[in-house]
Amino acid sequence: VQLQASGGGLVQAGDSLRLACAASGRDFNTNIMGWFRQAPGKRREFVAAINWSGTTTKYSDSVKGRFTISRDNTKNTAYLQMNSLTPEDTAVYYCAARGARITVIHSTPNSYAFWGQGTQVTVSS
């Protein structure tokens, strides 16, 4: 699976953004998809993940209630809707896939086999 993240940008606190992760290759619709982020000088951290059917999601406590992960298997695309953004959300956001037919959602980066290139999100105060 090859992944391409897009949709980042510079916004003000309180604004919204929607990130997209377009997948090519085989097995997108059998992959758990995840979003991670990495701020300068910090470790890559889990943001959200969704199972292959879209029926199960998981969020970090820092984004729960503000971010929504979704997917459209007909378009081979996963999304991250980000609302009520704060400067603390500033980071490079990465999408990732766990691997074909793995059914358990994990929040650790090394549980994901495939990664996109990242898209910058900057939130000004």
pLDDT in tens, 60-72: 999 999 999 999 9
Summarize the confidence of residues 33-60 as an average pLDDT: 96
How far is the CA of 23 from the CAs of 2, 14, 33, 40, 44, in angstroms?
Answer: 6, 29, 10, 26, 21
The pLDDT value given to residue 104: 87
| pLDDT digit string, tens, across residues 76-89 | 999 999 999 999 99
d(CA 125, CA 30): 39
Task: Please determine, for residue 103, whether its predicted confidence score (pLDDT) is greater than 90.
Answer: no
Summarize the confidence of residues 13-40 as an average pLDDT: 94
